[in-house]
Structure 1
Amino acid sequence: MLSDLVQLRSDTAMPLYQQLEQQLENLIRDGTLPAGTVLPAERQLAESLGLSRATVQRAYHTLRQRDLVAAQGRLGFLIQSASPRLHPGMDRLKGFTEEMRLLGKAPSSRILERKVVSDRSIASIFGLPSPASFLKLVRVRYGDGLPLSREVAWYNLSAAPDLEHGDLSGSVYAYLAERCGVPLIYCDQTVEATMANEEECEIFGFAQPLPCLLIKRRSYTHGEVMMEYVEGLFRGDTYSYRLRLGT
């Protein structure tokens, strides 16, 4: 219980609301209370700690101002990510690895699934015959060790057969350009709002489903050849895309 994690002192000049706020912030930042955890409602926490509701209300208010928690009505308060939001631009085509480096983050990946498949629905997206072969690659992408996205991607093996046995632990885009000689030229991309499912909550460390951004991308190489179709789920508590629009 949260009341077991909070130790308020009476032998100090620090006000109780400030003690509570600081202890809750420390528990959030050290991961004891991860993003997605629901804190008790003000009255419930006040009763469990033997405090006035006004004391808890003041502590929660400060945490909300710091974007560490969000009000969930009578359900309580939802813990947000303690990490600063990322603001990648959408001004040009770039892969996750390059994007992280531009943001000053160390990129890394964990491959969950890698296999050659024939899928009629995917072939239709690429405009290829049903028996066409694709490399299906499912990865978790990290920035400074924090899981930021889960990607499910399909690659056109007829356009880049070397992908089947290539080292894809790093940037697939770099491998396509440098090893296969088929750099990506442009993409069509959509961004949708969705909720993380049970598997994705486990990957991101969410205690309950949170809003995420689903990015679908179709990438092309020379000659209008579609090379990649990817669906990437990006955690909504960390990502905030930025666009510059001119007149």
Structure 2
Amino acid sequence: MYQQLEAQIRQMIGDGVLAAGATLPAERVLADALGISRTTVKRCYGALRDQALLSAHGRLGFMVEGRTKPLNPGMDRLKGFTEEMRELGKVPSSDILERVAAPDRAIASVFGAPSNTPFLKLVRVRRGDGVPLSREIAWYDLSAAPALAGADLSGSLYAVLAREGVALTHCEQTIEAAFPTQEECTLFGFETPVPCLLIKRRSYAASGRMIEYVEGLFRGDSYAYRLTLRT
């Protein structure tokens, strides 16, 4: 029954009967109105949330997000999240969840640096137009860019590095499928885990020195990376 209800609401959204921004009633209210169980409505709303068609707004009920096209950023050059969002016509923003400056022996081995090398660990939620698109954990070599420890990182960190004379010029990057943790599901608004893209990147300055190591989980319902290949 929940699949039937889901299909009907999805059709109404697709036909424009329920426009983006329209509010659907809370689970209990709709269940009572239709004479069905609240569990049925909950499963229906959960499925539509996983498809990014609805978002929860507490006592106000659920809001129609509409079916949006996935973001198609190119991977033709090294660029930060801020620049990428601006190229896509989105307003970038970040929430810093953790910021720690200290040595880290395990990360030092990733950088091939001495164990007492200081690093800046930065955990951020990256947003486009206010929508959480990724959760990143990144480390930066403070011996190469000590000013990062006290810098304003609310904007583009790559721009800060460039001002400090250690602009990033190239990187090694891998992309793999991964499921979000429960914390990440809550962050992205997933009722159940949805496959995401885990991007791991090692970024270097022109000198060949590794400056950044980052692991970013990007929501799979919003991202479809584009590659241009030539012979």
Work out whether the TM-score is over 0.5.
Answer: yes
Shift of 1:119: 1.5
Q: Does 1:191 align with 2:181?
A: no
User: TM-score scaled by structure 1?
Assistant: 0.72
Which residue of the partner structure matches residue 36 of structure 1?
none
Give, in angstroms, the shift of residue 21 of structure 1: 3.1
Q: Find the aligned partners of 1:161 and 1:86 in 2 and give their Cα distance.
A: 34
User: Which residue does 1:172 correspond to in 2?
Assistant: 157
Task: Tell me: CA distance 1:130–1:85, structure 2 relative to 1, closer, same or farther (3 Å).
Answer: same
| Among candidates 153, 158, 165, match of residue 138 of structure 2 | 153
Measured at CA, do residues 132 and 29 of structure 1 come closer, stay the same or move farther in structure 2, by a change above 3 Å?
same
**Cα deviation 1:107-133 (Å, max 9, x = unaligned):** 000000001122211100100011111
Q: For 2:213 and 2:72, how far apart are their aligned partners in 1? A: 23
1:29 Cα shift? 6.3
* Structure 1 unaligned blocks of 5 or more: 7-16, 34-45, 50-59, 61-68, 70-76
Structure 1 Cα separation of the partners of residues 144 and 192 of structure 2: 41
Tell me the residue number matched to 1:81: 52
SS in 2 for 1:185: strand
Offset, 1:19: 7.7
Correspondence 1:128 to 2:93: no
CA-based RMSD of the aligned residues comes to 3.1
SS of the residue corresponding to residue 86 of structure 1 reads coil
Asked if the contact 2:118–2:142 (Cα under 8 Å) also holds between the matched residues in 1, the reply is yes
CA contact 2:49–2:189 (8 Å) conserved in 1? no
One-letter amino acid matched to 2:179: M
Give the equivalent residue in structure 2 for 1:99.
84
Q: Which runs of 5+ in 2 are unaligned?
A: 26-33, 38-43, 54-67
TM-score normalised by structure 2 residue count: 0.76
Aligned to 1:21: 11
Letter of the aligned partner of 2:11 in structure 1?
Answer: E
Task: Indicate the residue corresponding to 2:41 in structure 1.
Answer: none
Alignment-derived partner of residue 218 in structure 1: 202
Residue identity matched to 2:189: G
Count, aligned residues: 197
Shift of 1:32: 5.5
Partners of 2:50 and 2:191 within 8 A in 1: no
